[in-house]
Structures are given as structure tokens and as C-alpha cells.
Chain A
Amino acid sequence: MDNMKGFSQLKKNLKNDFSHLKSIKIALLGDTATQFLNQALRGTGFDHGLDLQIWEADFNQIERQVFDPSSELYEFAPDVVIIFQSTHKLVSKYSKLKPGQYNELAQKQLDQINSLYSEIKSKLNAKIIYYNYPEINDSVFGNYASKTEQSFLFQLRKLNYELMVFASQNPNFYICDISSVQNQVGKATMFHTSVYINTEMVLSIEVLPIVAARTVELIGSMYGNFKKCLILDLDNTMWGGIIGDDGLENIQLGALGIGKAFTEFQYWIKKLKNRGVIIAVCSKNTESIAKEPFDKHPDMVIRLDDVAVFMANWDNKADNIKKIQSILNIGFDSMVFLDDNPFERNMVRENVPGVLVPELPEDPADYLEYLYTLNLFETVSFSDLDAERTKQYQVEAQRAIIQNSFTNEDDFLKSLNMLSLVEGFNKFNGPRVAQLSQRSNQYNLRTMRYTEADIEALASSDKHITLAFTLEDKFGDNGLICVIIMEKQSADTLFIDSWFMSCRVLKRGMENFVLNNMIAAAKNNGFKYIKGQYIPTPKNEMVKDHYANMGFTADGDGWVLDVAGYDDKKCFIEYK
């Protein structure tokens, strides 16, 4: 937190040139004054590579803006709507209730939020960010507040809980958890009485950068900016001591003393792995010695199974991280590197731009508490498949070894016994389709992002042909890895609205298989032409010449393929 920018530094960002940044339209509606929050959000956005174009509603206009169909909100047509209803206003509502109605506060507020959400959803295709409620204990009931539904605290906690339930049921409704921010910094820091009295603002100037960071991280992850991989040093990061010098018996791990800090740190890593974060190791060590604790130490929580890529050698860490990147095929900006050694941290920072390298506190006892404050692993989705990811990347590393033993690529591909399930979008594959649209940056022709709700709508649209592909082979199942959305542009033409694929399955002939299926779908529905378009981003240069390579011909600013003249392309993938 110490290296976080203050509010006045964020304000200085406002004078910078935003023109080269990705622009996102944000509507900010609050029941208290939000001018400073507005400035903090835009300033923070700059540091995250985002040009947040913020339209701020006049003070206390939430209902008017939402329920008036001709309001400025709808005219502005934002991508994201932020709604900030404060605990202070909630207390006032509670205080004005008649005794006997106190216990209805949470439900009434939730009903109101639900109707705001439904109204916005019916008029805009926007995501909604709702700030939850930092606690105020009005101390009317003492500890008995937790024992009676009549207390404000009971109603507030119920509301925060019900908001989570509501968010879990409504894909486009996201909570920004500022209640957790207050837990972290304390109420005295979160709220500044004289600022509140003089300006009607409920966030202190000191806490604004943190609230803005949490909000912008959430917005960023909606647009594909989030961390996918955690790379870890071993000695004095994963355990205490140096395995090569101290030996297996003497490294610090387990229930006693400082060992506890490392064990708890490892449990945290394990939870991240189970959530789908890829774990890699990068250590200056002899490989066999570095692996010993993973195999033999009774107190190790992380085992070799949990690690997707294990790099232990005496090369410099920048080169090793580049190797890890080439195996995993994900962007450097989606990687986090943790190392206790400041020299290694600086070395990686300077030589591998993009990788996030947090400072680590000197005392390992502080590692976890510090990392908790950074919110490194923001995400907008989670599915059961995430937990399988490590296995898939391990299989990928294995495949890379086998591939070296075949000189003929066709022989290699044949030997894989590849199978693919091809389906339109449905209830079962929808969440993963949405997730892949959020996560694919490189092999993505137009980089359109979709929510689960968008995918649901496409599944039943008669103006679209949708295709989702899985791929498995003798080494394992990659799950759903490629998605096609084609829009019926005219009676004889389909437009490829989206073509994105996981980079895990590059060089398997998947693109040939996909195009064969697209052509078949076009023919079956009586279309003569398929048109495509490449929209460049900083990350998708890989597919710059995709359509040319696939046999399309240039057509204005896009590409076109004649369905009748198409011969199926060679591939070694069978239908499942």
C-alpha cells in the first residue's frame, strides 16, 4: 500500500494524454457527492491503460436517472454503470422507519436495488458495479445487535450477504467490495467526518485511491486485464532457508515458529491454484535438489502436481520467465512474480516488462497480510474447468517433449488421436464460452468480449450461427478451446463476428477443422459467402494474416471466402 499513489498524484494524471488508451464509457451515480471519486477513477484508469470516460450524475439522482427513459444516463449509453449508495443514507432510511419495520430494511433496499438493476438491464447493454456497504455500528443494541433482526447492524450485514446472493444470480451485476476495504484500512481512515459535513462525501481523501483501484481492477478484468499465472521463487519465498545449503531437514516449514508463515503462504497458493491460477516455479537451484522438498517434505502443501512449469537452473531469472511464458503462451502482463530477493525482483522488472513484481516485506511473517492488500487476482468469472487448468498446462509441457521425437508433423498430429465435440451455444457451454471470450487476447480476430448473458442471448438468436469446439487427445482433455459467432448479414452472406481460440491448442490443425465446420454450417443454411475482419490490438498480431492464410481474399477493409469454391482443408481431428 505504501507505494500506492495519493489522490493528488492521481489528479495530476488527469492532465496526461489519454488518446492512445482503450476508452470505456462509465456512468457514476451516487446518493452522496462523487466528484472526487470521479477524478480518482479517471486518474487510476490512466495507470491501468484505460481512458475512462466518466459521466457523473448530479448529486442524489439515482432513481430519476434510472427510471426516466429520457434521462442523460440513457442518452450517454455507458458500458458500465457504477451505483454508489452509501451506508450513511441507509442509516437515515433506517432511522426514519417506524419501530416494528426496522427488520424490513434489508429486504426493502434489496427490492429497490433489484428494480434499479432490472430497469437498467431493460434499457442498456451495460455491466453494473454496485458498492456494498461498509459497516456502521450505531451502538443502539450493543452486542445484542447480532441477536435481533431489529438492529441496524443485523439489517446491514443481511443486506451485504443478500447482495452477494443477488450478484451470483445476475451475470451483469458485480459487487465492488468496499466493505472489505474498510476492514483493511479501518473506519477512521475510510471516513473523515469534516469532509462529510462540508462536502457530503463519505469516502476520505486518503481512501479514495484504494476504492478507485478496486473499482478499476474490476472494470479492467471485465475487459480482459487480469492475472493468470503466479511465478514463485523457492528459497526464503516458498520455505525458510536455502535447500541447497541447509538440506531437507533444516528448511523452515510446518507448525513451528516462522515455518508457520511459509506453510500458510503455501495454503494461499494452493487456493489460487484451485481457482485456476497457473502456478510456476522459477528458482536458482539444481533441479533435483529443488524438487526434493516437493516430493519428500511432510509439511509441503504445494506438490509437484500443483506446479504447471518448474524452472530450476542457474540461468538468470529473466530468461527463465521468458521460457515459462513461451510454454504457457500467455501475455507477460498476465503474470505475477514473487521473490524475496530485491536484486532478482529488479532484474525481472527491468528485463521482462509487463510482469507484475510486487515488493515483498522483509519479514516472511508479513508476506500474506501484505499480499492480501494488493488484490492481485481480480476476476469476473469462475467455472469448474478453472481447477483443471494446471493439468492441461502440464500435459502441454509433456507434449512439447514428445513433439521433438517426430520429424514429420503430420505423423505427430496423427499420433495424438485428436477428438473434438462441435456444438452451438447452450446452457452447459455458455459460461465457458463467455469466459474464453474474456481471456483470449492473442488468437482473437475482433476481441469482442461477451458476458454469460450475452452468450445466452446469442444461443437463441435466429440471426446468428454459433459454434463451440472442444479438443481432447491421448494426453488429456483441453476442454472448450475455440468459439465462432457468425452473424447473418444478408440473404447470402455470413459475417464472422467472433473467432477466438485458446493458444494452448496452436499448431494442431484446429483452425482448418474450424473453418471446415464453418463452411459446412454456411452451406447447410444456404449461404454463399463468409466475410471476416481483423481488428488489431496490442496483443493479437499473431492473427494479422489469419484470413489470408486461410484462403480468404481481401474485400474492402475485410476478407471474403466463396463457400462454393471451398475444398475441405487437411486435418487430423475426428468428431467426438
Chain B
Amino acid sequence: MEKNDALKKVNDVFIDVLDNEDIVLSYETTANDVEDWDSLNHIQLVVTIEKAFKIRFTSHEIQSWNNVGEMLDCILTKVA
């Protein structure tokens, strides 16, 4: 899977979970840039992403990313 395809898929998850059509993610996007992306919603996002990609993150990984790009890199190591 290309990183850009993963970005699109993750973007869709954000739109659905945060119920906000205006969200446009880039590799550099951080939690501060997105309204409602707080620590609680982060967990719901992560679980929904796990389901969408049929992967599982470790507890440590979930808290390790500094931006969307790092999250995508982590996803890409898990999908075939």
C-alpha cells in the first residue's frame, strides 16, 4: 500500500469519527491542528483505524506518534 492511499483511508476515518467533513489531513498534521482530536477521541480514532486496516497497534505505539505521517509509517509496517 502507498502512503498516500493510507492517508486517504485515515482521512475518511477522521471525517467519520469526528463527524466533520472539513478535515483534510497531511503528513505533518498534529492533534493541535484538528478540532476535537483530544486524547479520548484519539482512542476511538485508533480503534477505528485498526478495524479499517485489519491491524492492531501496541499500547506503546498508540502514544508514540508526533504527527499523521508517523502514524501512517506505523500502519504501513503492519499491512502487507
A192 within 8 A of B: yes
| A194 near B19: Cβ-Cβ < 8 Å | no
Interface 1/0s, chain B 44-80, versus A by CB < 8 A? 1011100000001111001100000000000000000
A199 engages B40 (CB within 8 Å): yes
A192 / chain B contacts, CB cutoff of 8 Å: 47
Q: With the chains together, A11 CA to B47 CA distance in Å?
A: 15
Is B48 touching A195 in the complex (CB atoms < 8 A)? no
Q: List, in ascending order, chain A residues with CB within 8 A of B43's CB.
A: 195, 198-199, 201, 205
Q: Is residue B31 within 8 Å, beta carbon to beta carbon, of the partner chain?
A: no
Bound Cα distance from A194 to B59, whole angstroms: 4
Q: Is the CB of B59 within 8 A of A197?
A: yes
A337 interface hit (Cβ, 8 Å): no
Q: Is A36 an interface residue (CB 8 A)?
A: yes
Contact across chains for B58 and A36 when beta carbons are under 8 A apart: no
- Does B24 make an interface contact (CB < 8 A)? no
Interface residues on B, range: 10 to 19
**A7 and B19 within 8 A (CB):** no
What residues of B have a CB within 8 angstroms of the CB of A199 in the complex?
39-40, 43
Query: Does A8 lie within 8 Å of B40, measured CB to CB?
Result: no
Nearest-Cβ distance from residue B61 to partner chain A, whole angstroms: 8
A60 at the interface (CB under 8 A from B): no
The count of residues in chain A whose C-beta lies closer than 8 Å to any C-beta of chain B is: 18
Q: Is there contact, CB below 8 Å, between A7 and B44?
A: yes
> Would A198 and B63 be within 8 Å (CB), given that A8-B17, A11-B19, A12-B19 are in contact?
yes
The residues in A between 2 and 28 inclusive whose CB is less than 8 angstroms from any CB of B are: 7-8, 11-12, 15
Chain A positions 178 through 214: 1 when the CB is less than 8 Å from some CB of chain B, otherwise 0: 0000000000000011110111010011100000000
B33 in the interface (beta carbon within 8 A): no
Pair B62/A198 contact, Cβ less than 8 Å: yes
CB of B19 within 8 A of CB of A195, answer no
- B6-28 contacts to A (CB < 8 Å): 16-17, 19
Residues on the B chain within 8 Å of A7, using CB: 44
Collect the chain B residues with CB atoms within 8 Å of residue A193's CB.
59
Are B44 and A35 neighbours in the complex by a CB distance under 8 Å?
no
Q: Tell me the smallest distance from the CB of A19 to a CB of chain B, in Å.
A: 21
- Chain B residues contacting A12 (CB-CB under 8 Å) are 19
Q: Are A8 and B16 in contact (CB under 8 A)?
A: yes
**Whole-angstrom CA separation of A183 from B63 in the bound complex:** 31
CA distance A195 to B56 in the complex (A): 11
Q: How far is the CB of A200 from chain B (nearest CB, A)?
A: 11
Smallest Cβ-Cβ distance to A205: which chain B residue: B47
| Shortest CB distance A194–B (Å) | 4
Q: What's the Cα separation between A376 and B14 when bound, in Å?
A: 34
CB distance from B43 to the nearest CB of A (A): 5
Q: A14 — nearest CB in chain B belongs to which residue?
A: B19
**Contact across chains for A36 and B47 when beta carbons are under 8 A apart:** no
Q: Give B residues with C-beta under 8 Å from A.
A: 16-17, 19, 39-40, 43-44, 46-48, 56-59, 62-63
Q: Which 9 A-B pairs have the closest CB atoms?
A: A197-B59, A194-B59, A205-B47, A8-B17, A199-B43, A198-B62, A194-B62, A195-B43, A12-B19
Sample (8) of A-B pairs whose CB atoms are under 8 Å apart: A8-B44, A11-B19, A194-B46, A198-B43, A198-B62, A204-B47, A205-B47, A205-B48
15 more contacts with CB within 8 A, not counting A12-B19, A204-B47, A205-B43, are: A7-B44, A8-B19, A11-B19, A36-B40, A193-B59, A194-B46, A194-B57, A194-B62, A195-B43, A195-B47, A198-B43, A198-B59, A201-B43, A205-B48, A206-B47
